[in-house]
C-alpha cells in the first residue's frame, strides 16, 4: 500500500489521481478531513482507507508491514501565517516523526520541501546540499521547510531511500480551497471572469519593471510525474528542485491566461500588500540538473501550455483532477 499525507490538499490529491490512473488503488489517504471544500478533491478517488492526521502514527505502528511507500505532502503552506508554533508542530516536528518512523519500519519516504527555502536567492537556486545551511528564507513557512532539510541531512539514521522535493511555484487543478494562497493563474482567471482584467503586483524593486518579476511556474501534472518517478526509482536519495528550469514573468502568465480564455488583454498594477512586501521573491528559477542527471527525462509543460490545460480542462468547468 502507498500512503499519501495531505491527501485532500492540492498536490497530494492530484497525486492520488495519478496513482489511480496507473491502476494503483491500494492507497491510504491521510489528512485533517474537516474542510469540506478540500474534501471535494478526494471525491471519486480510489483508496482503501482514510486516516486522520492526528492518529496516523498509531495506525502506521499497527499496519506498517502492509506499507510500501510514503509520500508526506501534508504541511501548513500559508506564507502569511506568523505563529511559529503552528509550523513547528505541523511542518517540522511531524515530519521528524515521519522520518524516524520510516527509519524504524524500513520505509521509503518522499516529502515536500519548498523553493521558499531559498529566500532572496542570494546563493542561487541550486539543490546542492552544500548551501542548505546558508539559506535565509523570507518567511516562517520557508524557515520550517529549511529547518527540516537541515535536520534531515544531519541524520546518521536515514530511510533507505528518501527525497525532499523543493517545489517551486506550483499551479493547477484542485486548488479551489487555497483562497489567498492559490496560484496566480487561479486568481488571474477569476479576475478575468469577474472583472475582465488582471491585477498584478507593482514592482517595489528598481531592478525589475512592473510585471517583470520572474518565477519558475510549474504545472502540478509535472510535479506528480516527478513524484511517481521517485516511487519507482528509489535510489539517489537527497534534495531535489522541482521546477521547469525556466523562469517566466508575471506578464507572461497574465497574457497566457487571457489567451486561454480568448479575451483581450487588460492588465493593471497594484501595490504589493505591506504584509508580504519585504518577503517577496522577485526571481526564482530551479536548477534541475540533479533531477535530470538521475534519469528523469520527461519534458515539462511550457507556461502557456500548462495554463491552457488548467483553464480549459478544469477551471472553465469547475472540474477536478
* 78: pLDDT strictly greater than 90: no
CA distance 213 to 82: 25
CA distance 37 to 317: 16
| Average pLDDT of the segment spanning 36-52 | 96
Write the DSSP string, 33-89: TT-HHHHGGGTT---SEEEEGGGHHHHHHHHGGG--EEEE------TT---HHHHII
H or E element at residue 163: strand 162-167
Catalytic residue among 50, 178, 199, 290: 178
Given this model, what pLDDT does residue 46 score?
Answer: 98
| Average pLDDT of the segment spanning 279-285 | 90
Given this model, what pLDDT does residue 57 score?
Answer: 96
The rounded mean pLDDT for the chain is 95
CATH for 2-171+218-244+285-301? 3.40.50.720
Which residues 6+ apart lie within 8 Å of 127 measured at CB? 166, 238, 239, 240, 241, 286, 287, 290
Rounded to 10 degrees, the C-alpha dihedral 225/171/95/81 comes to 180
Given this model, what pLDDT does residue 129 score?
Answer: 97
Domain ranges of the chain: 2-171+218-244+285-301
| Average pLDDT of the segment spanning 136-145 | 89
* 139: pLDDT strictly greater than 90: no
Query: Using an 8 Å Cβ cutoff, are 321 and 21 in contact?
Result: no
Question: Nine-digit cell at 145?
Answer: 521547510
Question: Nine-digit cell at 87?
Answer: 509550523
* 116: pLDDT strictly greater than 90: yes
Residue 141 appears among annotated catalytic residues: yes
Residue 189 appears among annotated catalytic residues: no
Catalytic residue among 141, 219, 228, 321: 141
Q: What angle do CA 74, 78, 80 make, to 5 degrees?
A: 160
* 311: pLDDT strictly greater than 80: yes
Is pLDDT larger for residue 199 or for residue 91?
199
Residue 77: band (very low, low, confident or very high) from pLDDT cuts 50, 70, 90: low
Amino acid at each position: 500500500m502507498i500512503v499519501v499525507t495531505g491527501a485532500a490538499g492540492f498536490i497530494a490529491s492530484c497525486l492520488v489521481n495519478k496513482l489511480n490512473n496507473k491502476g494503483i488503488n491500494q492507497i491510504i489517504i491521510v489528512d485533517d478531513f474537516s474542510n469540506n471544500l478540500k474534501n471535494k478533491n478526494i471525491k471519486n478517488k480510489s483508496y482503501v482507507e482514510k486516516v486522520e492526521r492526528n492518529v496516523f502514527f498509531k495506525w502506521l505502528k499497527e499496519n506498517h508491514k502492509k506499507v510500501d511507500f510514503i509520500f508526506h505532502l501534508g504541511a501548513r503552506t500559508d506564507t502569511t501565517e506568523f505563529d511559529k508554533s503552528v509550523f513547528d508542530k505541523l511542518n517540522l516536528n511531524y515530519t521528524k516523526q515521519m522520518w524516524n518512523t520510516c527509519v524504524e519500519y524500513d520505509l521509503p519516504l518522499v516529502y515536500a520541501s519548498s523553493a521558499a527555502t531559498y529566500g532572496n536567492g542570494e546563493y542561487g537556486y541550486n539543490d546542492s546540499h552544500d548551501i542548505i545551511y546558508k539559506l535565509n528564507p523570507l518567511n516562517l513557512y520557508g524557515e520550517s521547510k529549511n529547518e527540516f532539510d537541515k535536520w534531515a541531512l544531519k541524520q546518521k539514521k536515514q530511510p533507505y531511500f528518501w527525497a525532499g522535493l523543493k517545489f517551486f511555484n506550483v499551479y493547477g487543478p484542485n486548488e479551489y480551497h487555497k483562497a489567498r494562497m492559490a496560484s496566480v493563474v487561479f486568481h488571474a482567471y477569476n479576475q478575468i471572469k469577474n472583472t475582465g482584467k488582471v491585477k498584478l503586483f507593482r514592482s517595489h524593486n528598481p531592478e525589475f519593471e512592473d510585471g517583470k518579476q520572474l518565477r519558475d511556474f510549474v504545472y502540478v501534472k509535472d510535479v506528480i510525474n516527478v513524484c511517481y518517478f521517485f516511487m519507482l526509482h528509489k535510489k539517489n536519495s537527497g534534495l531535489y528542485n522541482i521546477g521547469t528550469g525556466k523562469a517566466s514573468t508575471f506578464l507572461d502568465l497574465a497574457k497566457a491566461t487571457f489567451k486561454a480564455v480568448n479575451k483581450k488583454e487588460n492588465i493593471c498594477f497594484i501595490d504589493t500588500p505591506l504584509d508580504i512586501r519585504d518577503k517577496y521573491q522577485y526571481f526564482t528559477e530551479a536548477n534541475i540538473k540533479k533531477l535530470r542527471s538521475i534519469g528523469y527525462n520527461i519534458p515539462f509543460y511550457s507556461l502557456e501550455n500548462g495554463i491552457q490545460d488548467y483553464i480549459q480542462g478544469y477551471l472553465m468547468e469547475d472540474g477536478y483532477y
